Amino acid sequence: MNTNVSQKTMLQAQSIRKSYGKKGSAQQVLKGIDLHVAEGEFVGIMGPSGSGKTTLLNVLATIDRPTEGKVLIEDADVSDMKDAELSAFRRKKLGFVFQDYNLLDTLTVKENILLPVSLGRRNRSGAELAYQAIAQSLGIEGLADKYPHELSGGQKQRTSAGRALIHRPALVFADEPTGALDSKSASNLLDTISKLNLERRGTIVMVSHDPVASSYCSRVIFLKDGRIYSEVYRGDKSRQAFFKDIMDVQAVLGGEAVDVV
């Protein structure tokens, strides 16, 4: 296990089940997931198509509610919160990075990134300092006045990451954040996320189908048929050695081989 990670539990899932459809014909996607994520961990979730990884992320991220079970973030039971309370909790505690960026076309890069802190009513000078710090970390300080349609895919994803991280959330959820990027842009984004994870001790939970992306994590959880099948820890291993461990599990699950970069 990563010795730099504290043992404080940031995220806990208790007996999570998720079904879709009506009684009698419901499809059970998650079949009893128990999961702990420590503060400061960078956890990957992998599994074959249909294994339930995106559904699990949505439930953990409060985007969807479990059919049964509980999700606790910093000991708060988010699965039992009312909508208004949950919205306030998301704004304060959570960050989201999605494959399709989810940027607002009518806002500039700077305005998109500042959106969470403007909703949180941070003072203007504090918001400006926070923006400058995150834009510099992500290498997009020269894009402040650009609009999303003027950006490359990598620039859009770094903007999305900036929006997710600017208010220093306790927990960041990433859904296939490199899925629409070329290999260079993907590596740059993952390097940046890893650096911010280490420097800010932010907790990250990321779904990915890509073992290269998952090799940046400190732990990878594998799902199969709605249940946790296995998990691997990076510990003190190099990223290349951890990539091999991930590939060994994926081979058993039926994944395709790729070359580590």
Record the tokens describing residue 3, joined without a space.
Answer: 């010795």
- Is residue 3 a part of any domain in this protein? no
- Is residue 163 a part of any domain in this protein? yes
Domain count, the chain: 1
pLDDT tens column, 189-233: 888 888 878 877 789 999 999 999 999 999 999 999 999 999 999
pLDDT tens column, 114-157: 988 876 656 677 888 989 988 988 889 999 999 999 999 889 98
Q: Is 42 helix (H, G, I), strand (E, B) or coil?
A: strand
- Is residue 147 a part of any domain in this protein? yes
For the residues 39-59, what does the mean pLDDT come to? 94
Q: Which of 88, 100, 94, 93 is nearest to 160 (CA)?
A: 100
Q: Is 30 helix (H, G, I), strand (E, B) or coil?
A: strand
pLDDT at 119: 66
Least confident interval from 5-9, 32-36, 145-149: 5-9
pLDDT tens column, 50-71: 899 999 999 999 999 999 999 9
Record the tokens describing residue 100, joined without a space.
Answer: 């399709």
Q: In CATH, what number is assigned to the domain containing residue 239?
A: 3.40.50.300
For the residues 22-37, what does the mean pLDDT come to? 90
- Is residue 50 a part of any domain in this protein? yes
Q: Give Cβ neighbours of residue 241 (< 8 Å, ≥ 6 apart).
A: none
For the residues 78-102, what does the mean pLDDT come to? 89
- Is residue 1 a part of any domain in this protein? no
pLDDT at 187: 86
- The 3 state secondary structure assigned to 186-244 is HHHHHHHHHHHHHHHCCEEEEECCCHHHHCCCCEEEEEECCEEEEEEECCCCCHHHHHH
Tell me which of 147 and 252 has the higher pLDDT: 147
Record the tokens describing residue 116, joined without a space.
Answer: 């969470």
Tell me which of 211 and 256 has the higher pLDDT: 211
pLDDT at 258: 45
pLDDT band of residue 186 (cuts 50, 70, 90) is confident
pLDDT at 221: 97
DSSP 108-155: -HHHHHHHHHHHTT--HHHHHHHHHHHHHHHT-GGGTT--GGGS-HHH
Q: Give the range of the structural domain holding residue 126, as residue numbers without chain letter.
A: 9-21+28-259
pLDDT at 3 over 60: no
pLDDT at 120: 60
- Is residue 4 a part of any domain in this protein? no
pLDDT at 41 over 80: yes
- Is residue 2 a part of any domain in this protein? no
- Is residue 166 a part of any domain in this protein? yes
Average pLDDT, the chain: 88
- Residues 104 and 112: beta-carbon distance below 8 Å: yes
pLDDT at 12 over 90: yes
